[in-house]
Chains A and B, each alone.
Chain A
Amino acid sequence: MTSMLLENVTVDFPIYNAKSRSLKNQVISLATGGTIGANSEGHVIIRGLENINLSLKEGERLGLIGHNGSGKTTLLRVMSGVYYPSGGNISIDGKCTSLINISLGIDPEATGRENIGIRGALLGFKKRELAERQAEIEDFSELGSFLDMPVRTYSTGMQLRLAFSISTVIQPEILIMDEWLATGDEGFHHKANERLHDLVNKTKILIIASHSRELLLKNCTRIVWLEHGKIRMDADAETVANAYFGHHQ
């Protein structure tokens, strides 16, 4: 049973200015003595998330809204296992994939085909699994003979197509997205959207952060409104969207 549970999750970012980040200064401050307590232990900490309690069950489609800096990306990173909460607990049961930046790991000097291999391996594909899907990825990207050219020769749209085609062959149980994926030119747009919808429908739990009311209402059953790293509202999509977007107009 796919599920995700966050209990009192708190995330504190230590902010190291040049001073505390330098080992030299820490050694010197040890040697000079006396002022250690006041200077080197009083780090500024930014509280990214505070006491987040969330329980996600199979079938749920969660939307995240909030201002810039309200903790959406941080929460997505906690959920994808990148940040371990500095306080509280999180447990995730299910294969989880985040499509936050689909161009990650694309090497501009390598060919399209090589990039499929690299990105596929980063996403956790075994060699055999990837070989089975290789043709499908290549077909979907419609790049044809360009697949043997270095990616730096591609137009921006072609690069997006490649990244999109590789990233969306995954079949995660939990899918994490930051905004809907950009999909390049018109011709590809329709096909890509269809595929993304397909992926979203197949996944057992969807978590998507977005600023688009339309997108959230279309895809989500539940929305969490984050403010200052805390949950301001957590209810069904309609209610929260009305409250949030009403509040900001």
Chain B
Amino acid sequence: MSGFPTLVHEMRQPVTIKSNSNVLTAIQKTANKRDCIYMSRATSQKITAWEDIFASVVNFRLAALLGWQDVAQRYRRSSVGAFWLTINMGVLIAALGLVFGTIFNSPMSEFLPFICVGLIMWGYFSNLVNDGCTSFMSNSDTMLQLPIPFFTYILRTWWRNTIILGHNIIIFPIVLLMFGKFVNFNALLVIPGFFLVSINFLWVMVILAVLCTRYRDLTQIVQNIMQVGMYVTPIMWEPHRLPGGTKSSLMLYLNPFYHLISVIRDPLLGSTGTALNWCVVIGMAIVGWSVALLFLNRYRSRITYWL
């Protein structure tokens, strides 16, 4: 037994960070503060969440390369590659579009483009959230060996799913062409819309990745929420089909996914999304990132211990 580390039984929360930060060494004092941001120098001073995210964004190339490799893997032994996902999505849109369009008695030229954008975006949202949960776990080998900023792994997940979204979204112009319709100038709003949506999902992924690394079964709970979310959010039913009254508008407005999907879907379908949609999405981005930064800052140095 001599070779094994001693067991200590502690009556304390394991997450408490016990480092004595006021014992600053002479070297730490003289270290150029800007150097801390870059990985190349002064590696092990405690890295703040802000430095981590800044370094990851500056070196986005790494995240993009890794994310692209994930997609490229799908092309390696199949020439259709990631377009298999698009084909699956196309079949799903056609089937659900026909069924629900008939049930709701909606004109197909209206309903099919609606459900098309809805399902594609929902697929993107739920993949971001579900893969976000496992972002750290699936990169544990790398994380335990190289001090690469952690947000890089989140960006990798985001980039991979964004490339897949790029594959899927080509169904939309095809559907429009089938009905001889075109997008109008409002479609340009999809650019700020997509930007805001990404900003929002990135903070959600940061928090979930940390939490799911610590509490492994949270991943299942999140999957479940995303599954239910698809039916609660107006994806397969149009928002105007809800009966009027406070109850139904509350059901709509309290659902963050409704606002997130509206700032992308409405511009693509020719309208602009409501002011409320845009305000909620911007508000969530600001509040969410503030929380996520504090959260990551608090637990960042513990993450590798949980892997």
Interface residues of A, Cβ cutoff 8 Å to B: 3, 5, 7, 10, 12-14, 16, 21-24, 26, 41-48, 67-71, 77-96, 98, 100-101, 104-105, 107, 109-110, 114, 117-118, 121-124, 127, 150, 228-229
Contact = CB atoms under 8 A, between A and B. Distances in A.
Contacts of B66: 118, 121
A104 B142 CA distance: 7
13 contacts: A12-B8, A16-B306, A21-B214, A23-B217, A43-B10, A45-B10, A67-B3, A91-B45, A96-B147, A101-B141, A109-B77, A118-B65, A122-B146
A78 B305 CA distance: 11
Interface stretch (B35-43, B268-276, B283-291): B35-43
Contacts of B147: 80-82, 96
B107 interface: no
B146 A46 contact: no
Q: Which of B25, B76, B305 has the most CB of A within 10 A?
A: B305
Contacts of A94: 41
Interface of B is mostly: loop
A78 B23 CA distance: 18
B149 to A, nearest CB: 11
Interface string B1-14: 01111111111111
A76 B204 CA distance: 33
B105 interface: no
Nearest to A40: B13
A172 B77 CA distance: 37
Contacts of A110: 69, 72-73, 76
A105 B141 CA distance: 8
A98 B14 contact: no
A94 B18 CA distance: 25
A22 B144 contact: no
Interface in B264-307: 300-301, 304-306
Contact of B8 (A3, A46, A93): A46
A121 B5 contact: no
B44 interface: yes
B31 interface: yes
B44 A228 contact: no
A81 B43 contact: yes
A14 B20 CA distance: 19
Contact of B217 (A22, A82, A93, A98): A22
A89 B72 CA distance: 42
A21 B13 contact: no
Nearest to B3: A67
Contacts of A22: 215-217
B170 interface: no
Nearest to A79: B44
Interface residues of B, number: 59
A92 B2 CA distance: 32
Contacts of A92: 42-45
B145 interface: yes
Contacts of B69: 107, 110, 114, 118
A5 B40 contact: no
B145 A86 contact: no
Given A26-B215, A95-B41, 4 more contacts: A46-B5, A80-B147, A91-B42, A127-B61
B18 A93 contact: no
B28 interface: yes
A91 B40 contact: no
A86 B17 contact: yes
Contacts of B143: 82
B164 interface: no
Contacts of A24: 217
Contacts of B46: 84
B23 A7 contact: yes
Nearest to A105: B142
A109 B73 contact: yes
Contacts of B199: none
Contacts of A123: 146
B148 interface: yes
B71 interface: no
Contact of B145 (A10, A70, A78, A82): A82
A13 B41 CA distance: 27
Contacts of B23: 7, 89
Nearest to A78: B44
B12 to A, nearest CB: 7
A82 B28 contact: no
Contact of A5 (B12, B13, B27): B27
Nearest to A178: B145
A37 B41 CA distance: 43
A82 B27 contact: no
A47 B2 contact: no
Contacts of A98: 145-146
A229 B2 CA distance: 12
B8 A84 contact: no
